[in-house]
Amino acid sequence: MTVAKLDPNNADGGIDPLSNKKSNSFSSSTTTTTTTTTTTTNAIPNGNVKTAPTTTTNTTKTTKTTKTTTNGNNGNTKYEVFDKETGEKVQRSRPLQGPKMNPVYKTIRAFAWALYFNLGASLISMTQVLSLPLAVIAPGVYRRHINRTEGHFGAFLLKMNQLFAPSDIVLTGDESIRGIVKVYKGRRLQYGSKDGEKVKDEDETTTYSEEETILDMPERMIFISNHQIYSDWMYLWCFSYFAEKHRALKIILRGDLTWIPGMRFFDFILLKRNDWAHDKRAIEENLDRVNAKDPLWLVVFPEGTVVSRGTRKRSTTFAQKAGLVDHRHVLLPRTSGLFVCINKLRGSVEYLYDATVGYSGIAYGEIPQELYPLPGLYLNQAQPKDINMHLRRFAIKEIPETEPEFVEWVRKRWQEKDDLMEEFYTTGKFPSQLTVEDIGGEEEKKEGSKMKGGESVRIPLKSRAMLDYLSPSALNVIALPVLAFAIRYALQHAS
């Protein structure tokens, strides 16, 4: 399918097939077709007359983008996409809400998912609640336990995707992330630290029966991303698992997400979004509690919300009032929160990683959240097969420290991000400067492979060990309160 370009001169956001300029919004345009039919009469040997219609079609074509229609029977919204060259409607390879399922199977599947999620999340939350006495009598032990449950929850989400919504991360990037991907086959050396440098410990090795991918990424960093669907944060949590940092996440989220069991205990940064004074204070107080030596992956979505038709319209309106160039596939970023975060962590964080995420199965001009709503991922099998992630790295010391310059810096990054999304929707993939050496293990490096870019690494969302998601078990539920009361008893008698 040839992808059309948006026409900036069309007030409704239509598409001009001859223009390569950017647009402010999406809408639909029309195709005018004039059909002329003539009749040709031919005599045949038996005396009968055969009439054959000859049709000549003249088409004045304006290529179409997404058009919304409503099904009057059940009110479901359908999104139609049209080819640039032919003007014909593109037939999707699958329904918008996942494949058709037998009602009995769908019911059983929904019950199994609900049981898995509620039981697993509740067990994790129960260990957190029962460990609350430790917050008073042994704060360090309590904080380490909460970090451990955060790792359990990350592995729990990964296994949930593996069982109910299997997907792969397709990782690409520029030259700044070359070398972060380590693919191991069989025996893998563990790494220790000596004088700040990584060294091999020959006495500690682990053997894996299958190929394993490990991301060699910093203990502390800021991680920013565009926001396409509501489950973005879960996929980034799964991504951190392969860097073995799923215990170190601190995500900036809306305050109303605390209904998820366990979320309030993770010490995430929860914002009101309509009260900047409160939100700024929440960010500063939360980051002040973080030890400068503890692992930290601070996840920020500068857009503040997912792309939708409503947020797309508000972003366009704001861009017009502020005299800014609006984007095609991302929203204008909000910079205040990220500015506070970077200034708070200067000196203790060396790098900012920027992820541009695009999901497979989405045509140009479609809204990802409309195709991949959060419940449908697990209930209807309406999940993306590939989570395409383009990664870049920036040194914190090179990011402007004054707010006006910082705002301009972020806007430039978002323009680049929008261009990356344009290429993704046009070609079906992100550009990459990774080479075979960058994504291979030691065996591939020894072969002396040529340094050729354009490579990507596919990381299936699969957990490596059974205990990763079964560890918040009944044993923990029983052991933690016993340990808490034992410590308290010892302290009382010691005094």
Model confidence pLDDT, tens digit, residues 326-361: 899 999 999 999 999 999 999 899 999 999 999 999
Q: What is the pLDDT of residue 43?
A: 41
Eight-class DSSP state of 259: G
Angle value at C-alpha 147, between 375 and 352, nearest 5 degrees:
80
Segments of 61-101 assigned E as strands:
67-70, 77-80
Q: What is the pLDDT of residue 495?
A: 60
Phi first, then psi: give them for residue 203, nearest 5 degrees: -85, -15
Among 100-109, 302-311, 350-359, 467-476, which range has the highest average pLDDT?
A: 350-359
Residue 286 near residue 269, CB atoms below 8 Å: yes
CATH 3.40.1130 maps onto the chain at: 103-180+216-475
Helix (H) or strand (E) holding 389: strand 386-395
Any idea which of 44-53, 183-192, 303-312, 394-403 has the lowest mean pLDDT?
44-53
The dotted CATH code for 103-180+216-475 is: 3.40.1130
Task: Scan for tokens 């449908």, then name that residue.
Answer: 376
pLDDT > 80? residue 303:
yes
**Bridge partners of residue 187, in order along the sequence:** 207
With 70 as the cut, is the pLDDT of residue 453 above it?
A: no
How many Å apart are CA 191 and CA 201, to the nearest integer?
Answer: 6
Centre a 10 Å sphere on the Cβ of residue 50 and count the other Cβ atoms it contains: 9
| pLDDT at 141 (0 to 100) | 87
- Please compute Rg for the chain using Cα positions: 27
In this prediction, residue 315 carries a pLDDT of 92
Dist CA 369 CA 380 (whole Å): 14
Q: Give the per-residue pLDDT at 468.
A: 59
Specify the higher pLDDT residue, 420 or 188: 420
Task: Report how far residue 474's alpha carbon sits from residue 328's, in angstroms, rounded to the nearest whole number.
Answer: 50
What are the start-end ranges of the E strands in 71-136? 77-80
**What is the chain's mean pLDDT, rounded?**
74
Residue among 400, 417, 420, 421 nearest 409 (CA) = 400
In this predicted structure, the answer to whether residue 193 has a pLDDT above a threshold of 50 is no
Cβ–Cβ < 8 Å for 28, 48: no
Which of 86-95, 171-180, 346-355 is the most confident on average? 346-355
CA-nearest of 390, 375, 230, 389 to 311 is 230
Are 241 and 463 spatial neighbours (Cβ–Cβ below 8 Å)?
yes
pTM for the whole structure: 0.73
Whether residue 207 has pLDDT greater than 70: no
Dihedral sign (CA 86, 90, 91, 94): positive
pLDDT of residue 477 exceeding 60, the answer is no
> How far is the C-alpha of 187 from the C-alpha of 211, rounded, in Å?
10
CA distance 441 to 447: 10
Q: And the tokens for 367? A: 């809204």
